[in-house]
Chain A
Amino acid sequence: MNFLSPRLSDLQLITYNQQQKMIWHIAKRELYDNLNSLRFALATVLLLALMLTNAVVYLREHPARTQAYHNAAADAVKALEARSTSLYRLATEGPGGLHKIPSPLRFCAEGDEVFLPKHADGRNYIRDIANLTAVWRMGYPQETPSLHNIRPDFTTLDWAFIVSYVLSFVAILFTFDTISGELERGTLRLTLANSVPRHTVLIGKFLGAFISVNMPFAIAVLMNLLLISTSDAVQLNAGAWGRLGILYAIVILYASLFIALGLLISAAVRESGVSLVVLLLIWVSFVVFMPNTLASIGSRISVPIAYVEFWNQRIRLSDEARAAYQDKYGGSQTKPPVHVLGEYVSKEAEEHERYNEAYLKEQIMQGKRARAITRISPAAIVQRLFESFAGTGFERHLQFIENVQRYAREYREFVVDTDRADPASLHVVGIREGMSQKPVSPEAIPKFKDTLSLNRDFNTAATDLLLLVLFLVVLMSGAYLAFIRLEI
């Protein structure tokens, strides 16, 4: 075939097979260029160092974390079973501490686990009301480790950081000159002088860059997982490996996104120096600044009252309830009927719990708003996706709270049902004289089990996944258009 003067018929002769061959040819050329380059070596070293640090830090911290959880959970169960001496105790003292199970995939995304509460409490932690024992209610304590933390600020070295910051950085460095560089050297003209359709060239370049970005990352990830899976401190089950697979798919999407961006800017700007500067500035704004600045704007839309304020209000609320009771029944010598007392204690606990939950809801809403607005930045999306699938962070905590609330209902139903089974009881829950005093078999008491459902994770992540794909499609078509219209 005479490539120097292609006729129409010749162009049509380029079959699908040949096109594919051409794509591979170009991709291979790109790949060889990259493999020999300084940037490939630097990127490999950088990613490898980060991933190994990640594994080492995780292996150092994880066993203690799991141990602490198991101890706390075992203590809680023991305390609960100690209350099985009478149903009345179970009904007033409640299920006790409910603990959040730590995710084995915390090395993928730290979330903000350090700052999130590790447990919820179902106890009667308020004083007795006049001569009555209060009934338990769910409370959601806060973690404030930052109060004592005088270390400098830093970002944790999880996969989410390595991917959203470093991998995108590497992707930009691999692609900023793929088109502009060839334009400057004039080799692009040479390539296109052959009867190669432009989109073939673009796809080839994309593939080349894709493989050269993914290769160092894949090596680093494999080393990381090798370290983690060979250590006997951690057992990753099939579910965890499945989640890791999903996470890797997200990495591929995200890396492609930045490669497409690199190709787009590289084609649009035509000068490598400028294209790198533009890309770096975009990178800095979208990856480093946007997630944080936007979140602080978003969180300010509605601000719940301070926790101290909430705490004081709650004390005021229970004081009022106590005063109201005192006014009504405190003076009289004879005790009011049992069902009046029962109604009173359960109402007090209910109102208290409702108040706790309303405050929690406000905080969650604030967190959700702050997170929603950061979706403009793909880096923030990836951070969220990593958290969702690693079972850490905000969404995971919401799931924990849901589990807690479901369990609280189950526990209450258990108490009511067991009480109903006792013919001697008056069925007034929460009052000593009103309900069954019989011991309960410790095995029969429902125990709290914190679970993670992949199904739910997919649901919460669906929007983010779609957004990521949308970003990718837009950037790909942008790159395609820019390259098609490129004048050489």
Chain B
Amino acid sequence: MLMTLIRRELLDNLMTFRFAAAVFITLLLVVAATAVLIKDYERRLVDYNTSVETHQQNVRKRQTYSPAIVRVYVDRPPNPLSLFNVGLDNRLGNEINVSPWHVPSLWDAQMNSSDNSFLNIFSSIDIVFIFEVVLSLLALIFAYDALAGEYEGGTLRLVLTHPVQRGYILLAKYISAMLCLLMPLLMSLLLALILLTTSTSIYLTTDDFLRVGGIILASVAYLSVFYFIGLLISAVTRRTSTALMLSIFVWGFLVLVYPNVVLATTAPQDTSAERGASAFGQIKQIWEEFDRERKHFLATDPVPGEDPMFDIDSPDGWGAGDGFSENRLTLSYYYWSVLYYNGKLTEESLPRVPHAQNYYGFLWRQIIDTADQTWLIRRQTLEDIFVKPALIDRILLKLSPVGMYDAATQAWTGTDLKGLQDFFDAVRQYQRTVIAYLYDREAFKSRLWFASDETVVDWDTLPQFSFERSSIGTNTKRALPDLLLLLTINVVLFTIIFLIFIKSEV
């Protein structure tokens, strides 16, 4: 019996013009968007590769430590799954300095790509966004006359004269509609994957295919919510024209209006200025304390009245500089120092070399400790100013199924905030490794820190940065809350519709 009902519904849905048109548009949009996104990804990958190359060369061509560790940069690779949901992937910085003088964070990253501020107004359209807009509309269009149409046409009465349970009718309608919705979903994903294989630079792993499976799961749950919304409206209004109008307005509200209204009204206020200023003051104070100790060290140094260059001399060229660097917006404040001599040192400066070694050994230990100290304050403040409001925004967005769907798919692709934070955690880890490596080699207090007259640095042993996207297990864990939320809404809506339908008079 159920099969008969499903077959009837399926034929009803499939043989319509609206279905054909919607499938056509979905495929067209997905293909166009994928082509654009692949080109975009390839460009970012090229940028990434050249950038990695340059950064490595910048370090390797130095003969001493000091000018090299200033130039240790890490690049963030583009995420191939950003095609599905771009999230924060091409918005946040992708190039970050990991010098020991400050703990690198998301806010210190720079953008290394063709960033033209005249193009920012155009948002990039990804595959999930197309599903979000077009397929949810299709779901409502399938649903609005599913019950109301049968009430009006009197066919429901006819069906119910047979010994059919009412639940079966609902179930049949649901299953057939979902099958119809799956068709454009899977077809367009398949087309997108085919397009992906034509590109030589995109390589998807088995895990990535599992993640795409996760996206499909989230999409089904999302579309099912919209189908139920449509069905509910259809059951309540009992008139196709009213149901249609109401459904479309609900769609416009949930998909188009609500997310934008919420984000526009919660736009961050400038109240963060005070909090930021006090934290910045604290950080500055700690560094000033550091500076006093540094000056004290220099004053008590047995070589009287010398500046940090210790009057060491090299006829072959040298470079030096030190000072504080600050950025109020990102609460970044630190002391930097560079010193190097190329080639031979003059005979008379040789006695001063041990003093310089002693000083830099002391200085860098201080710098690293102070950087760690200030990071605790900075991290807390940055969380308060930037992260917390963004999390509240995301929670508010989840009052619409669109927000849940977006969050779930971003969790699968790893382009959500947590996925990006993973990268910066790895960067911080890498910085610790580099510092440990330098300590291990006693680089700070070695002659090689600034002078290359005896030996040169062997860069082959320097640890390399590598970043693995979070495992599929982590992705699942992050996607699960939103997925479960979507499923709960599904169950609740189904129960309500079922109750209304059971009790309704035909």
Q: List A residues at the B interface (Cβ < 8 Å).
A: 37-39, 42-43, 46, 49-50, 53-54, 56-57, 61, 64, 111-112, 114-117, 142-144, 146-157, 161, 165-166, 169, 173, 177, 272-274, 276-278, 280-281, 284-285, 288-289, 291-293, 295-297, 299-300, 303-308, 363-364, 366-367, 370, 393-394, 397
Contact = CB atoms under 8 A, between A and B. Distances in A.
Given A144-B111, A150-B386, A39 B249 contact: yes
A142 B117 contact: yes
A281 B22 contact: yes
A403 B8 CA distance: 69
Given A280-B248, A303-B114, A285 B25 contact: yes
Query: What are the 9 closest A-B residue pairs judged by CB atoms, nearest first?
Result: A367-B118, A112-B121, A115-B120, A154-B263, A277-B18, A295-B122, A157-B264, A42-B249, A150-B390
Contacts of B393: 151-152
B265 A56 contact: yes
Interface in B117-132: 117-125, 130
B330 interface: yes
Interface string B311-330: 00000000000000000011
Contacts of B121: 111-112, 115, 393-394
B9 to A, nearest CB: 16
22 contacts: A61-B267, A111-B121, A150-B386, A151-B263, A151-B389, A152-B259, A152-B393, A152-B394, A155-B260, A165-B256, A169-B252, A173-B248, A273-B145, A274-B18, A280-B137, A281-B21, A292-B125, A304-B116, A306-B111, A306-B112, A363-B116, A370-B122
B409 to A, nearest CB: 13
Contact of A150 (B88, B119, B133, B240): B88
Interface string B28-49: 1100110010011001000100
A173 B248 CA distance: 9
Nearest to B262: A154
B246 A293 contact: no
Given A284-B25, A300-B39, A150 B387 contact: yes
B18 A367 contact: no
Interface string B255-285: 0110111011101101000000000000000
A50 B406 CA distance: 23
Contacts of B114: 303-306
B152 to A, nearest CB: 12
Given A38-B246, A299-B119, A367-B118, A147 B110 contact: yes
A398 B170 CA distance: 59
A303 B114 CA distance: 7
Given A53-B265, A295-B119, A370-B119, A46 B112 contact: no
A47 to B, nearest CB: 10
Contacts of B256: 165-166, 169
A169 B265 CA distance: 23
A274 B19 CA distance: 10
Q: Is the interface of A mostly helix, strand, loop or mixed?
A: helix
B253 interface: yes
Contact of B124 (A151, A273, A296, A363): A296
B457 interface: no
Given A152-B263, A289-B33, 11 more contacts: A146-B91, A150-B417, A166-B257, A169-B252, A277-B22, A280-B141, A284-B134, A308-B95, A370-B118, A394-B118, A397-B118
Contacts of A143: 117
Interface in B272-301: none
Contacts of A299: 116, 119, 122
A285 B248 CA distance: 16
Interface in B225-259: 240-242, 244-246, 248-249, 252-253, 256-257, 259
B265 A147 contact: no
A49 B252 contact: no
Given A147-B93, A173-B248, A297-B36, A284 B394 contact: no
Interface residues of B, number: 79
A225 B174 CA distance: 46
Q: Is the interface of B mostly helix, strand, loop or mixed?
A: helix
A208 B92 CA distance: 49
B427 to A, nearest CB: 15
B27 interface: no
Interface of B: 16-18, 21-22, 25, 28-29, 32-33, 36, 39-40, 43, 47, 88, 91-93, 95, 106-107, 109-125, 130, 133-134, 137, 141, 145, 240-242, 244-246, 248-249, 252-253, 256-257, 259-261, 263-265, 267-268, 270, 329-330, 386-387, 389-390, 393-394, 397, 403, 406, 417, 420
Given A278-B21, A297-B36, A147 B109 contact: yes
B116 A291 contact: no
A209 to B, nearest CB: 15
Given A148-B107, A153-B123, A296-B40, A366 B248 contact: no
Nearest to B16: A274
Contact of B133 (A56, A288, A291): A288
A301 to B, nearest CB: 12
A292 B260 contact: no
A39 B224 CA distance: 25
A152 B47 contact: no
B125 A57 contact: no
A367 B141 CA distance: 38
B110 A292 contact: no
Nearest to A366: B116
Contacts of A281: 21-22, 25, 134
B118 A364 contact: yes
Contacts of B32: 289, 293
Contacts of B397: 152
A366 B252 contact: no
A154 B259 contact: yes
Contacts of B113: 306
A120 to B, nearest CB: 13
A300 B259 CA distance: 29
Contacts of B118: 112, 116, 363-364, 366-367, 370, 394, 397
Contact of A273 (B122, B242, B244, B329): B244
A485 to B, nearest CB: 20
Interface centre among A39, A155, A278, A281 (most CB of B within 10 A): A281
A307 B112 CA distance: 8
Contacts of A154: 259-260, 263-264
Interface centre among B32, B111, B114 (most CB of A within 10 A): B114
Contacts of B106: 148, 150
Contacts of B17: 274, 277
A147 B115 CA distance: 11
Contacts of B43: 300, 303
A173 B244 CA distance: 10
Nearest to B28: A285
B119 A144 contact: no
B261 A53 contact: yes
A150 B95 CA distance: 17
B468 to A, nearest CB: 22
A366 B119 CA distance: 8
A39 B120 contact: no
B82 to A, nearest CB: 13
B324 to A, nearest CB: 18
